[in-house]
């Protein structure tokens, strides 16, 4: 158990809908990263938040947005869903020690868009 | 353009033997490398890491080797156990505080009894 929690574990929805994925980082971790893993793909970085502020954006579609709240949990909002958005969505929180950072991943949310 | 490549989608090894998983990278700015293990229906689990100032890092049965001139790293598992069967991801980043990880597509390792 990494200490990172994600809800829901599974989500089935229809095209055009909007969903919210939730992530709670490990206690004390200020950073939250979101990744998408599609079929036969590695993990693709979406977005990074640190202590409530957006730090970096990766391959995140404009239909997707995220935020990190004062209690440090984060939500990833996916709107106008398309079939191709079906994927595993992981969040990770990180700790920095001796100048290097290690990311610890949650169990993921499996999204199926029908 | 894939900056981190794991060219072997799968690897089969017998229990007790050595497993060697390989990873190549193209971005010379990468200076920190990690291996993650992933079981089905679970998130990736951090396994071992190495920074570019080293060429080897060991943790129990797991050893990571880094060849900076070849932009290549490898993960050795000795001895391999059936419980090691999983997908292994190589990831790379730039050490500058908090930074994003670039992942390879993974290698599925199957260790048979």
Q: How close, in Å, is residue A85 to chain B by CA atoms?
A: 18
Instruction: Check if A107 contacts B (Cβ < 8 Å).
Output: yes
Answer whether residue B99 shows pLDDT above 90.
no
Q: What average pLDDT does range B64-79 have in this prediction?
A: 97
> B98: pLDDT confidence band, cut at 50, 70 and 90?
low
Contact B22, B11 (CB under 8 A): no
The whole-angstrom distance between B98's CA and the closest CA on chain A is 6
Do residues A108 and A36 lie in contact, with contact meaning Cβ atoms separated by under 8 Å? no
- Sort A71 into a burial class: Cβ within 10 Å, 0-12 / 13-18 / 19+: exposed
By the 10 Å C-beta count (0-12 exposed, 13-18 middle, 19+ buried), B102 is classed as buried
Query: What is the per-residue pLDDT across A57-92, written as a single tens digit (0 to 9) for each?
Result: 998 999 999 999 999 999 999 999 999 999 999 999
Contact A90 B44 (CB under 8 A): yes
Pick from A42, A100, A108: CB nearest B43: A108
């Amino acid at each position: 158990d990494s200490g990172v929690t994600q809800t829901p574990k599974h989500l089935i929805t229809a095209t055009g809908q909007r969903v919210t994925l939730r992530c709670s980082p490990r206690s004390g971790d200020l950073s939250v990263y979101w990744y998408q893993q599609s079929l036969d793909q590695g993990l693709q970085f979406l977005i990074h938040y640190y202590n409530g502020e957006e730090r970096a954006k990766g391959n995140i579609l404009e239909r997707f947005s995220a935020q990190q709240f004062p209690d440090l949990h984060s939500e990833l909002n996916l709107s106008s869903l398309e079939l191709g958005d079906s994927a595993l969505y992981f969040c990770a929180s990180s700790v920095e020690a001796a100048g290097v950072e290690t990311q610890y991943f949650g169990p993921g949310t499996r999204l199926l868009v029908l | 353009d894939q900056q981190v490549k794991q060219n072997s989608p799968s690897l089969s090894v017998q229990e007790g033997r050595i497993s060697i998983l390989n990873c190549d990278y193209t971005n010379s700015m990468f200076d920190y490398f990690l291996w993650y293990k992933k079981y089905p229906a679970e998130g990736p689990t951090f396994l071992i890491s190495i920074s570019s100032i080293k060429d080897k890092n060991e943790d129990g049965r797991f050893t990571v080797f880094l060849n900076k001139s070849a932009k290549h790293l490898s993960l050795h598992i000795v001895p391999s156990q059936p419980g090691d069967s999983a997908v292994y991801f190589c990831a790379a980043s730039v050490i500058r505080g908090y930074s994003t990880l670039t992942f390879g597509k993974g290698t599925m390792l199957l260790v048979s009894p």
